[in-house]
Amino acid sequence: MKTLLKMVLIIVFIAICVSAFFLNSYLTGNVIRETSNSNYYMYTKAICNSSNSCQDTQITCKQNKTISMVPIKGAVIQYEKDWVDPRSKEEIEKLC
């Protein structure tokens, strides 16, 4: 009787482990698929003010719409007064 009980408990334990593994794989796969199919993307861009101080910023987009803009700490550059941003006006203003 003890042997039968041990065998049943081992089978139940293995079934729970296998189910948990497949459930975790299924959920993780769906999250990745949802994100990759939703047209999310991120990039960094220097945003400069009129005194030529430029802050690197992480920009997150979804389907060509800006979702968030987060300044990157410690990524500030102060250019000289006569510095001119080499990017076109369109490049400077475009976010997503």
Give dist(CA 76, CA 55) in Å, integer: 4
pLDDT, tens digit (0-9, with 9 covering 90-100), for 77-86: 999 999 999 9
Q: Do residue 53 and residue 66 come from a single domain?
A: yes
Instruction: Report the pLDDT averaged over residues 58-64.
Output: 90
What local confidence, expressed as pLDDT, does residue 2 receive? 78
Residue 25 covered by a domain: yes
Q: Do residue 23 and residue 45 come from a single domain?
A: no
Give dist(CA 57, CA 78) in Å, integer: 15
More confident: 24 or 6: 6
Residue 5 covered by a domain: yes
Distant-in-sequence, close-in-space partners of 60: CB < 8 Å, separation ≥ 6: 40, 41, 42, 66, 67, 68, 69, 70
What local confidence, expressed as pLDDT, does residue 22 receive? 57
Q: Do residue 19 and residue 33 come from a single domain?
A: yes
8 A C-beta contact, residue 46 and residue 77: yes
What local confidence, expressed as pLDDT, does residue 19 receive? 61
Number of structural domains (the chain) is 2
Residue 48 covered by a domain: yes
Q: Do residue 8 and residue 28 come from a single domain?
A: yes
pLDDT, tens digit (0-9, with 9 covering 90-100), for 13-53: 776 766 665 555 555 555 555 555 568 889 999 999 999 99
Q: What is the domain range of residue 2?
A: 1-37
Q: Do residue 4 and residue 31 come from a single domain?
A: yes
**Summary count for the chain: helices (H), strands (E):** 2, 3
Residue 76 covered by a domain: yes
Lookup: tokens for 79 = 């250019």
How confident is residue 64, by pLDDT bands cut at 50, 70 and 90? confident
